[in-house]
Structure 1
Amino acid sequence: MKLLKWVACLWLLISITVAAAGMLCSSRVADVAIVPGNTVDRDGVPAPGLAARLSRAKQCYDDGECKIIFVSGGTGLSGVNEATSMHAWLVRNGVPADKITVDPEGNDTWSTAQHASEWMRAHNHSSAMIVTQYFHVPRAMLAMKRFGVTEVSGAYPQFWQARDIYSVLREAPAFLWYAVRPFP
C-alpha cells in the first residue's frame, strides 16, 4: 500500500511538473510552427481544443513569429483527416495556402515530430515552435529534440476544458516514455 501511495504521489508530481513546464514555456521566433492534430468532427470542423491551437498558430504567423505552419494529423474516428481539416481552417481564416505544409500521416506526437523534422531538414529549416495545449508542449518539444531539432520553443492557446485533468495525468508516463523511446 505504501508503494502504491508513493507511485501515485510521484505520478502526480511529474504530471504537475510537466504541465507547469508547458505553461512557463515561451515562444521564440522560429522558421516553422508545428501544430499536432487533435479531434475533428465528422463535418471536418476542428473541435474547440484544436481550433484554439490553430488560432494560436495563426497568431504566430500573423505576428511574424514563424514563416510556415506545419499541420500534422491522421484520420481519427470521425473518418476525416485532421491535417487536411487543419489546413482548411487556416486557409478559411486568412493564412495563405502556400504558407501551410500538410502532414496527413501524423498519427501521434512521435510521428508528427519525425515527419516535421524530416521536412525541416529537407527544406533547410532549423528552428521550430510547437503549438499545442500547455500540458502537451514539453513532450512535443522533447520529441522534436529527439529527432534532432535543437532549436525548439513552445506556444499554447489560452484554452481550458475539463478533459485537461485527464490529459495532464496522461502526460507523466507519456513524457517518460518519449525520453527513453527507441527509434524504429
Structure 2
Amino acid sequence: MKRTFKYLAFAVISLFLTQSIFIAADGLMDDEVKTDCILILGNKVNKDGTLSPRLKARVDKGLQLFRENPSSIIIVSGGLGKEGYYEGTEMKKYLIDRGVPVDNVIADDLGNNTLQTANNYMELSKTHHLSSVTVVSQYYHISRTKHLLKKVGAGQVYGVHADFFEWRDFYSMFRECIAFYKYW
C-alpha cells in the first residue's frame, strides 16, 4: 500500500511540475503580433478607486501594445469588486486619462470570471468585426485564457504577460493548474 501511494504521489507531483512549466513558459513567451483587439483581464481595484499594482501592470502593458498598434480596440474586462468599483470601468478611465481615444476602449463590466470574459469577448467581436485578439494578464493566466477563447470560437488568439511578479504567484500557479483542468 505504501509503495502504491509513493508512485501515485510521484505521478501527481510530476504532472503538476510538468504542467506548471508549460503554463509558465507559454505565459512568459509573449506573442509579438499586432491584433484587432487587446483584451485586458481585470483584477482588484483599490478602495480609493485606483488600480492595484497587479491590475495597473496589466493595463500599462495593454497601453504599451495600443501605442504600438493604435488602430486596435481595447476591451477591459472585469466584474464588480468588493471595494464597490467595476474593474472594466476603472481600467477604461485609466486608459482614457493616458490618451487612448474613448472610441477605442470598451468596458466589459460583466466579466466576473475568465469564461464569462471569453463569452463576452465573442459577442463584442461579432459587433466590432474582430478576428484576432491579444490577451493581457499575469503569465500564469495566459494559457487558460487563450484556451477558453479558442474554445468559445475566437479566431487568432495570442498572449502577452504583465510585468508584475509577487510571492502570491506560487499560489496562483497551483490554482491555475487545477483551473486549467476544470475548463478543459
TM-score, with length taken from structure 2: 0.92
Question: What letter matches 1:100 in structure 2?
Answer: V
Q: Does 1:9 align with 2:24?
A: no
Which aligned runs of 4 or more in structure 1 are off by greater than 4 angstroms? none
Q: Distance in 1 between matches of 2:18 and 2:112?
A: 28
Question: What letter matches 2:64 in structure 1?
Answer: Q
Show the 5 A alignment for 1:75-86.
75-86=80-91
| Larger CA Rg, structure 1 vs 2 | 2
Per the alignment, residue 150 of structure 1 pairs with 155
Q: Does 1:69 align with 2:74?
A: yes
Residue ranges of structure 2 left out of the alignment (5+ in a row)? none
Residue ranges of structure 1 left out of the alignment (5+ in a row)? 180-184
- State the 1:16 CA deviation: 2.2
- Give the fraction of aligned pairs with identical amino acids, expressed as a percent: 37
Q: Distance in 2 between matches of 1:150 and 1:26?
A: 15
Q: CA RMSD in A?
A: 1.4
Per the alignment, residue 130 of structure 1 pairs with 135
Distance 1:148 1:107, change over 3 A: same
2:29–2:160 CA contact under 8 A, matched in 1: no
Question: What letter matches 1:88 in structure 2?
Answer: K
1:15–1:170 CA contact under 8 A, matched in 2: no
Aligned length: 179
1:36–1:73 CA contact under 8 A, matched in 2: yes
1:133–1:156 CA contact under 8 A, matched in 2: yes
Per the alignment, residue 165 of structure 2 pairs with 160
Question: What letter matches 2:78 in structure 1?
Answer: G
Q: Distance in 1 between matches of 2:178 and 2:123?
A: 26
Distance 1:178 1:145, change over 3 A: same
